[in-house]
Amino acid sequence: MILVFLSGFLTFGQDYAKGKQLFNTHCAACHKMDKKLVGPALNTIVARQGEEWTKEWIYNNNALRDSGDAYAIQIWEEYNKAAMPGYQFLKDEELNDIVEYLAQWQTKKDEAAAAASAPAAPVAGGGTVVVAQSEPSSWLYLLLAVALIMSLVGLYALHKGLQAIVKITTRGQSTNLYLMKKLNMDQDNVEQEFDEMIEGEVQKRTDRKIKHFKKSVNKRLKGL
């Protein structure tokens, strides 16, 4: 029971989020979790070598290699004998946090991918999942109100315009009827009278234009 308690306590003491932060600060420049960079990928290092070996490797890689550790020497030779710096300034709990991050990274990545691809869980009782929708913005209501007001103003202006046209047309027809009765004329006579008036006016203006043109031509001929 004591061993189980201590094991649980040690696991609880390890912080994945802090380990991620420490990894990004001290390790990410040379290591990726899932592919080689300056150094090897680290997503399987704890599963292969164990937590204690990984802590020693981070703390003082040179000392681990000098002790004759075969895997430390293998990595050193594989990466052109580029020595990894030691991190003796890190506290023991910080090393534990980094190891926790390295050990749990692949598991958490797989869990996130599975959660993203999993279908939505059905509601108990066979009901339909209702997706909550956000309330429309107050700006949308304001724009709709302005559009409604503009539409009403346009309809009112159109109504007034149509009333004015009807009024003018009615007055024109009333005036024509009054004049026709006053002059004792029918519709055909009114139209004939109107055509004759226009033709007479056109003839007068044409004669004036011709007369003016003749005078202008005569002046130019005299100037020659």
Where do the H-state alpha helices sit in 14-91? 16-26, 45-49, 51-59, 61-66, 70-78
- From the number of C-beta atoms within 10 Å of its C-beta (0-12, 13-18, 19+), residue 164 rates as exposed
How many Å is the Cα radius of gyration of the chain? Answer: 49
Q: Is the pTM of this model over 0.95?
A: no
71-115 pLDDT, tens per residue?
999 998 999 888 889 899 999 999 999 999 999 999 999 999 999
Q: Is 219 a residue whose pLDDT tops 80?
A: no
Per-residue pLDDT of 193-212, as tens digits, reads 767 877 878 788 888 888 88
Please tell me the distance from the alpha carbon of residue 138 to that of residue 65, in angstroms, as a whole number.
67
pLDDT tens-digit series, residues 138-196: 777 777 888 888 888 888 888 777 777 877 766 666 666 666 666 666 667 767 776 78
Helix or strand or coil: residue 82?
Answer: coil
Instruction: Give buried/exposed letters for 2-20 (b at 16+ CB in 10 A, else e).
Output: eeeeeeeeeeeebbeebbb
Q: What is the pLDDT of residues 11-60, one digit of tens each?
A: 445 799 999 999 999 999 999 999 998 899 999 999 999 999 999 999 99
Instruction: Judge whether 102 and 23 are in contact, CB under 8 Å.
Output: yes
